[in-house]
Structure 1
Amino acid sequence: MTDSRLQVFVVDDDESVCRALGRLIKSAGYCVETFGSASAFLDRVQAYTCPACVVLDIQLPDLNGLELQRELDATLPIVFITGHGDISMTVDAMKAGATDFLPKPVRDTDLLRAVEQALERAVQAYTIQCELDAIHCRLGRLTPREREVMALVVTGRLNKQVAGDLGTVEKTIKAHRARVMAKMEVTSLAQLVRVADRIGLGAPADMHS
């Protein structure tokens, strides 16, 4: 999976290593940016807008790699590289979500394999997030009453029951329901339920009593 739209950030305070890793990863068809410190990387990463991963050295002049991993809070897949790792460090990194932990000097094939796997995870996460963003955007088109109707409809309640819950008539609920379906861009109740499940939307418990 090589795609020039996929971003790889390399963070290593050894300038020669940084350059070499950058050239290698770029030769595989990825977009690469290199950084000599955690702080320089953090200043840049706030603005990235595409699937990305980080190739990260453990030993850095400001934050170390594990500290930087905590700062990122699992927002990006990380491939750790280090000449000073131990089993405990490896376990901590992997538990916190790192995709790989490679000793220096890193073999080209091992690094490119690890980067590819990290980017596959990044693409999956990015795709899911884009879908959720689109759902929330459509949800934002609903009026407060339409959101109430949607929350009840997706629990399987009939129009007549929803009308009773909301103190109105069935005809009004049918109209609200039609607008909900149109704004949420679905054509069936099953689709609407799946969309609601994706964002954890449900009716308040006291509405079913």
Structure 2
Amino acid sequence: MTTDRLLLVEDSDFLGTQLQDALRGYNFAVAVVSTAREAARHVAQNEVDCVVTNYDLPDETGIALARDLPDSLPVLLLTTTELKSIAAEALEAGVTDFVHKDNIVGEMNIVANRVSVVVRAGRE
């Protein structure tokens, strides 16, 4: 069984640690960065199966980051923003799926399942 390699882009240390620990519990290898610039550098230098990114990043949005990543790389967007207001732009930029961040710490199985789905879909 191959371990899927995730890049988590999250500027909150607390949420980043919570997500990283939870996703590792689902057998994902997780690297964490806090900015879109660091994410682009990481993707250019490492094999990554999926990017899980916060919408609000210090240097740009997760949507702008998705636009800059390879089209074949699945991107899951974490957001507190109402999806209706960003969905069309996000999908056009290459975002594969969305997870709303409300109560996300208690719902890690949902995040892990979504990541698994987008990684599998990206391989097909």
Would you say same fold, with TM above 0.5? Answer: yes
Q: How does 1:40-189 map to 2 (within 5 A)?
A: 40-49=38-47, 52-105=49-102, 106=104, 107-124=107-124
Q: TM-score normalised to the size of structure 2?
A: 0.87
Q: In 2, Cα distance between the equivalents of 1:63 and 1:18? A: 17
RMSD (Å), alpha carbons: 1.7
Q: Which runs of 5+ in 1 are unaligned?
A: 125-209
- What is the identity, as a one-letter code, of the residue corresponding to 1:59? D
Q: TM-score normalised to the size of structure 1?
A: 0.54
Q: In 2, Cα distance between the equivalents of 1:80 and 1:68? A: 10
- What is the identity, as a one-letter code, of the residue corresponding to 2:119? L
Of the two, which has the highest radius of gyration?
1
Secondary structure at the residue paired with 1:66?
helix
Q: How high is the sequence identity, in percent, across the aligned residues?
A: 23
Contact 1:99–1:114 (Cα < 8 Å) also in 2 = no
Q: Which runs of 5+ in 2 are unaligned?
A: none
Secondary structure at the residue paired with 2:71?
coil
Q: 1:46: Cα distance to partner?
A: 0.4
Secondary structure at the residue paired with 1:63?
coil
Corresponding residue number in structure 1 for 2:29: 31
Deviation beyond 6 Å, 4+ runs, structure 1: none
Contact 1:99–1:117 (Cα < 8 Å) also in 2 = no
Count of residues paired in the alignment: 121
